[in-house]
Structure 1
Amino acid sequence: MGRYIDEILQPGEKVLYSTNAHWIFYLPAILAWVVVLALAAASVAVPPMAVLGLPAAAVIAVVALYFTIKGWFHRFTTETDVTDRRVVHKTGFINRHTFEIALDKIASVEVDQSIPGRLLNYGNVSIVGMGEVPPQVIKTIASPLAFRSAITAH
């Protein structure tokens, strides 16, 4: 399956910058897998705990697998690109949501980062168009400052 941006590029249009949803979407899965490993290790270290620990680890492993697949699917189905003409953002696979805005129609680009976002280099980006168009928000994007720079460099 090809990338969405490759399917919609106009003749002569070039992709200048591409980014994706940040890996932080995997955090629930990572935490669940840590709990699974802790329960499994405790069950091995303390044999009487194995009666409850291993079944609990198995149940949490199913939850961890769900969160892993959910995070992967979100990242796999999300694309954000800056071309020499426009910004394109696409999410979803079957229920697809896209927006495109011409670079010359962008009034400002706002970046909102929390403290963890600054430390791990992710944040929300709001693209404000000219006129009455409401801002388009791209949530939890990787490298939001580089993304803003790619837009404002033109």
Structure 2
Amino acid sequence: MTYIDKHLIPGEAVTYQTKLHWHVMFWHVTFGVISMLAGIAILTGAWSSKHGKGDSSGVMIWLGLLCFAIAAYLVVFGVLKRRATEIAVTNKRVIVKVGLATRRTIELLLPRIESISVEEPALGRVLGYGTVTIRGTGGTPEVFQNIYHPLEFREQVQKQIEGERRSG
């Protein structure tokens, strides 16, 4: 069960969920693959020197294993960074939870939202990500970067605000 599912209030239902775009883990995975390839090259060199005249194969094996450990760390960190963020629109509020070990949560009631803006860089328009800024009444703007399909997120928030106005 997700954080959002656990913290719904009575009569509240999730109408839209999104997440961070996959590009947030691009560099983690890229450097992880590079580190893994370096580890393979080092271990291959260690294996060659073990069967040849070299005597540094022990150090090379440890260095190759270190490269594999770094690769695993980078990839896992990138995946967790993406998966540890939950973003939802309900019929009553917008809920955002970021982080695992340290957590930041933002819950904005729909009637208290003054504006919602979207910024998409050129690459973001092509790949489908952007920055969403939500301004609440009397509050500081809340900025959420690298949101997957930010225009759809804004549209869903606006639909729920309009539905709240009609029913209220």
- TM-score > 0.5, shorter chain as reference: yes
Identity of aligned residues (%): 33
Distance 2:3 2:94 in 1: 13
Task: Kindly indicate whether residue 1 of structure 2 is the aligned counterpart of residue 12 of structure 1.
Answer: no
Which residue does the alignment assign to 1:74?
A: 81
Deviation at 1:26, TM superposition (A): 1.6
3-state SS in 1 of match to 2:80: helix
Scaled by the length of structure 1, the TM-score of the pair is 0.81
3-state SS in 2 of match to 1:109: strand
Which residue does the alignment assign to 1:25?
A: 24
For residues 97-150 of structure 1, what are the alpha-carbon distances to aligned partners after superposition, in whole Å with 9 as ceiling and x for unaligned? 1111111111111111111211111111100112x3010111111111111110
Instruction: Give me the CA root mean square deviation.
Output: 2.6
Which residue, 117, 125, 128 being the options, matches 2:132? 125
3-state SS in 1 of match to 2:12: coil
Distance 1:55 1:127 in 2: 49
Larger radius of gyration: 2
Distance 2:66 2:83 in 1: 26
The question of whether the paired residues in 1 share the 8 Å contact of 2:36 and 2:71 is answered with: no
Which residue does the alignment assign to 1:96?
A: 103
Which residue does the alignment assign to 1:151?
A: 157
Residue segments in structure 1 that go unaligned for 5+ positions in a row: none
The question of whether the paired residues in 2 share the 8 Å contact of 1:32 and 1:63 is answered with: no
Residue segments in structure 2 that go unaligned for 5+ positions in a row: 50-56, 163-168
Structure 1 residues 54 and 123: CA distance shift in structure 2, 3 A: farther
Structure 1 residues 16 and 63: CA distance shift in structure 2, 3 A: same
Distance 2:26 2:63 in 1: 20
Which residue does the alignment assign to 2:71?
A: 64
The question of whether the paired residues in 2 share the 8 Å contact of 1:26 and 1:71 is answered with: yes
Q: How many pairs align?
A: 149
Distance 1:61 1:26 in 2: 18
Deviation at 1:58, TM superposition (A): 5.0
Deviation at 1:62, TM superposition (A): 2.9
Structure 1 residues 56 and 148: CA distance shift in structure 2, 3 A: farther
Scaled by the length of structure 2, the TM-score of the pair is 0.75
The question of whether the paired residues in 2 share the 8 Å contact of 1:35 and 1:60 is answered with: no
Task: Kindly indicate whether residue 115 of structure 2 is the aligned counterpart of residue 108 of structure 1.
Answer: yes
Distance 1:112 1:16 in 2: 23
